[in-house]
Amino acid sequence: MRTGIARHLSCLAFSIPDCNIGSRDHDPLTMKRRVVITGLGVVTSMGTDLKKVWENLVEGRSGIRKVSSFETSDLKCQIGGEVLDFDPAPYFGNPRDAKRADRYIRFSVAASKMAVTQAGLDFESDDPDRAGVFLGTGIGGLQTIEENQRILYDRGPGKVSAFGIPMMIGNAAGGIVAMDLGITGPNFCVTSACASGSHAIGEAWKTIKFGDADTMIAGGSESTVTRLAIAGFSKMRALSTRNDDPESASRPFDRDRDGFVMGEGAGVVVLEEMEHAKKRGADILCELIGYGTSADAFHPTMPHPEGRGASKCMDRALKHSGLNPDQIDYINAHGTSTPQGDIAETMAIKKSFGDHAKDGLVVSSTKSMTGHLLGAAGGVEVAACAMALRNGVIPPTVNLENPDPECDLDYVPKEAREVPIQTALSNSFGFGGTNASLIMSRYSG
């Protein structure tokens, strides 16, 4: 007869079914902890606070303009969703710290502080070990990289900034937010191209579900309206060149779309375990109930032409949410305004939602107004979904004037629509074929 120790070792070695280690009881997705959203922070070309951004989204106002912060005359694409009139200093304890932070970090800190303020959190009274920060970025401190590269070649290595490396790295934003707020729980950066912000939110959701935290600050930030980024994406023929009409350049699902428009900014949410939020009397905006991921495994930049990876991603989010496809009311599409991407996403939605895709499901792309914020897109679009659930209004897909015959879903063209939706799904698909889908629902107590 085996001793207790021998039996335990045998379980470890041979995965005997009666061993508790690794059992379904410990699967985070089967745990009963529910996750809610209690704070939102956004910085975009449409405004630098939630109220203004939401107002502009509902009104269908584009934030895309002729780029004004650098010379564009020699660039094929001369337009973008620049954040204007943004002062980071109020969000930093010391104004000098703001100057020593890359622009993407400034956006992160501002959006995080906005979200924490709305949530009413105070980490001096709330346990900082039970809180964490997951902030994603597709590229990180690109402006700092470009500037220091010029300095290196023009003036020599002795003139490169001593703060350059901490300003460039992708995890700097999350680190600074944690230091500023005194948060000592889980902290890392997700870098998965245009899915970074959504992956960060999804992984934060899992962290709370697993029980490793009660509160998470999560989302994404990006500042890539730069000469290098626009030149590089233009060389790939990924960007719109509708330079004479910037506000109509981003036109997802439209027959005349010619590429996406670069945007910048940040989108951050505060996630909390539901009982933790209720105990402190938080205003719960909505509940995050599903998260799915997948890989296309197809091409470095193009989506699978049949949307296979995107469909699997949505299917997994649905499985984790416990909902049937016909229970999803609204999809905030990835919808970048690229010729291949919009068709592939449309096919993926049809594959995952069947008849419901054309009979009751509403889809729109807020990138038609914000531009594509790359790693920050998911955070901004989750915020848009939360506000749509809260207010019963779906933002439009502006500039959708001549629908592509292969894009034949209900995309809420031109004007917002009042619909008392109960559930919303947000899609983010990135270069490398990396995909993320998040599902939210109205909070029902």
Catalytic residues: 194, 334, 372
Helix (H) or strand (E) holding 12: helix 4-14
Task: For residues 173 and 92, give the distance between their C-alpha atoms in angstroms, rounded to a whole number.
Answer: 12
Q: If you ran DSSP here, which 8-state letter would residue 194 be given?
A: G
Tokens 């009881």 map to which residue? 25
DSSP 401-432: -SB-TT--S---BSS-EE---SEEEEEEEETT
Q: How many residues does the chain have?
A: 445
Q: Give the burial string for 401-415 (b: 16+ CB within 10 Å, else e).
A: eeebeebebbbbbee
Q: Annotate 155-189 with three-state secondary structure.
A: HCHHHCCCCHHHHHCCCHHHHHHHHHHCCCCCEEC
Please enumerate in sequence order all residues whose Cβ is within 8 A of that of 311, keeping only pairs 6 or more positions apart, or say none: 347, 348, 349, 351, 352
The SS3 call for residue 377 is helix
Choose among 182, 179, 146: nearest CA to 164: 146
DSSP 226-263: SHHHHHHHHHTT-B---TT-GGGT--TTBTT---B-BB
Please enumerate in sequence order all residues whose Cβ is within 8 A of that of 70, keeping only pairs 6 or more positions apart, or say none: 226, 227
